[in-house]
Chain A
């Protein structure tokens, strides 16, 4: 199932060429950022110090990489073995996702070489960011180790493969612990900014909102990515379409329940602080679009898709949910943030910020493709068939 070595000419596929251009451009902009400063490559200001790179690359990226802990928990802690075929692609996506979050962060930080400082020079443990930095660092390590079984099988390193295999349960527990912490704390960052985040999104419970929506994001990304992989990497896939559809339908059931829960707690948050009157404002309209169009609607989609056993409906709902999570994170960090500032002081991303973001996503896709075509991600390695 491994690809034979390609001749140079065959490497020049349209995808490869476009990806190379995007990545080269991204690298160039990254270089420019370090030569001329953030001001030259972003539209960040004193009013809006956090833009697309934090709002999307970091915050949204972390939410969308949540499939890893969701599915490993389901398979290894709850014993739902029928989802085993999607564990490896999910963990790989998680690892690549978090690695790219770190890349996005490093480009955005004023002095990225000082990133270890909170742990080796001076700690600021009262900061939500301290906890996030610690947990993301540990979780990236966890995901890396969880990704190594496939690599070791491919390399034929049996002893190491056995070793990391024996750590699965511990890593899964650790991963769920770390994910609960940092997914919710990304929301908790905004507890320190009660006047700057619009009341409809700000809540004492924002950490819970972020955690529950992260699970919804994880489930939806498992469906979306899984469906794409099964089509694009058809030759690598081992399980039948029927089996994959069954997995999709099962995920749809989970998605319905999680989205309903999320919907309820978002409505509850309005009630708790008596914010109903904000719904009649323009920001209220934005909120309702997010809540009704991208939470309630896909919830119904999952609900019906599961009942009627319609994988296509579930896939569409998953796509809508993913867009909804992106929308929510951008609302919290950019659109509904600094909501009282006059329009001329608000933020629109610089094209270079957008390019770098696209480049980061492209890098993830390229790495994913390279690994999936070589390592036992979408299929089992013949020597390790049926093993844990």
Chain B
């Protein structure tokens, strides 16, 4: 599904004709900050020692991981990051393929176009030029949309705090990076399963490893493009779906997917007043015309009625006159006849 068609359909979705907007940002492509850092996680090298968890908790002033690293029963259940543990290593079983289990470290992926940043209505998240996505607790309102939306379930919330709960997650050790150090997990990993460096370089390195040992690796660098790409890149010999990652998802970022509809909002705001005022004016006009028609019909009926009445009256007047004339004529005739009779009697005497 191309960007332009999705963007177009989203415009249609509001019931308004989209002005052919291709996507949330037209048809631009954004490369992101050049030279930004990333991490390459090679699951073929991870043995599940959880040294990264220990180092991460230490650096972030969290209590040591529970259960301790010696306890291997921890892997019987899938874990996720929590407010006291920003990263976890899970074991993914591979028995179906007759292969040994695979371990993968899970944490905030520091996406190129972060979902959390896109859904935050107080702009509490920022993608830094160095690569990490940072959270600003000084503006956070605690709506937890970010926690709810993150496709990697990477965010946690401090529900136990009544007044200052924060969203917490891996920070890619931003303070350490600024000092020129590596993130604690990369530093601590004894197997080299976590490599820190510039993202562009790491992608080249990943491709190189895949090229050198094609039997051991799937020919795909996870995180290069998925949902717009992430700072954490994963390579390995097991299918990514089996590792709890997404396979076959769009390269469109979540801000793109989530914000597309919002482009229609200003359109609705611009069109509705004129449209609705127009509808109101039309309905008032219909009412007025209906009323005028009614009034015209009534006055026509009234004038028709008065015309008929007038005619009736004049006919009656004529008739009355006629009757009167007849009566007068009759009376005159009678008088003449009597006068004639009287004069006739006198003549005969």
Contacts and interface: CB of A to CB of B under 8 A. Distances in A.
A and B touch in the complex (CB under 8 A): yes
B276 A117 contact: no
B159 A38 contact: yes
A192 B258 contact: yes
B160 interface: yes
A204 B13 CA distance: 8
Interface string B215-258: 00000000000000000000000000000001001000011011
B75 interface: no
B148 A77 contact: no
A46 B88 CA distance: 14
A292 interface: no
Nearest to B6: A204
A39 B158 CA distance: 8
Contact of A188 (B81, B153, B162, B262): B262
A173 B274 CA distance: 10
Identify which of A79, A114, A126 gathers the most chain B CB atoms within 10 Å of its CB.
A126
Contact of B144 (A50, A114, A117, A128): A50
Interface in A88-121: 109-112, 114-115, 117-118, 121
A39 B143 contact: no
B265 A47 contact: no
B259 interface: yes
Interface string A32-73: 011111111010111101100000000000000000000000
Interface stretch (B104-112, B120-128, B172-180): B120-128
Given A169-B280, A191-B261, A194-B257, A204 B10 contact: yes
B280 A109 contact: no
B22 interface: no
Contact of A127 (B145, B249, B284): B145
Contacts of B160: 36-37, 39-40
A123 B122 CA distance: 5
Nearest to B277: A173
Contacts of A40: 160
B82 interface: yes
Contacts of A127: 118-121, 145
Contacts of B124: 122, 124
A204 B3 CA distance: 13
A133 interface: yes
B80 A342 contact: no
A287 to B, nearest CB: 20
Interface string B143-171: 11101110101011111111111000000
Nearest to A342: B78
Interface string A141-185: 000000000000000000000000000010001001100110011
A130 interface: yes
A204 B119 contact: no
Given A46-B83, A111-B142, A191-B261, A173 B122 contact: no
B272 A177 contact: yes
B88 to A, nearest CB: 12
A205 interface: yes
Interface residues on A, range: 35 or more
A246 interface: no
Contact of B140 (A111, A194, A204): A111
B287 interface: yes
B257 A78 contact: no
B128 to A, nearest CB: 16
Given A39-B160, A204-B9, A208-B14, A189 B145 contact: yes
B214 to A, nearest CB: 30
A114 B115 CA distance: 22
B141 interface: yes
B13 A205 contact: yes
Interface residues of B, number: 66
A191 B139 contact: no
A301 interface: no
B80 A46 contact: yes
A170 B309 CA distance: 50
A39 B268 contact: no
Nearest to A109: B142
A192 B119 contact: yes
A173 B272 contact: yes
A16 interface: no
Interface string A9-47: 000000000000000000000000111111110101111
Given A49-B144, A110-B140, A110-B165, A126 B255 contact: yes
B139 A122 contact: yes
Contact of B118 (A49, A192, A342): A192
B15 interface: yes
B17 interface: no
B265 A176 contact: no
Interface in A181-203: 181, 184-185, 188-189, 191-196
A169 B144 CA distance: 37
Contacts of B119: 126-129, 189, 192
Nearest to B162: A37
A41 to B, nearest CB: 10
B209 to A, nearest CB: 28
A122 B123 contact: yes
Given A124-B123, A196-B149, A114 B140 contact: yes
A192 B162 contact: no
Nearest to A121: B139
Contact of B147 (A49, A115, A130): A49
Contact of B157 (A35, A46, A129, A204): A46
Given A77-B283, A128-B258, A207-B14, A109 B82 contact: no
Contacts of A34: 162-163
B96 interface: no
Contacts of A129: 119, 121, 143, 145
A79 B139 contact: no
Instruction: Sort A-B residue pairs by CB-CB distance and give the 4 closest, nearest first.
Output: A110-B142, A192-B258, A39-B159, A49-B144
21 contacts: A35-B162, A38-B165, A44-B157, A46-B81, A49-B147, A49-B148, A49-B157, A109-B141, A111-B164, A111-B165, A115-B141, A126-B118, A126-B119, A126-B255, A128-B262, A176-B272, A181-B268, A191-B260, A195-B249, A208-B13, A208-B15
Given A117-B139, A121-B139, A184-B14, 8 more contacts: A112-B142, A122-B123, A124-B120, A126-B258, A129-B121, A185-B265, A189-B119, A192-B149
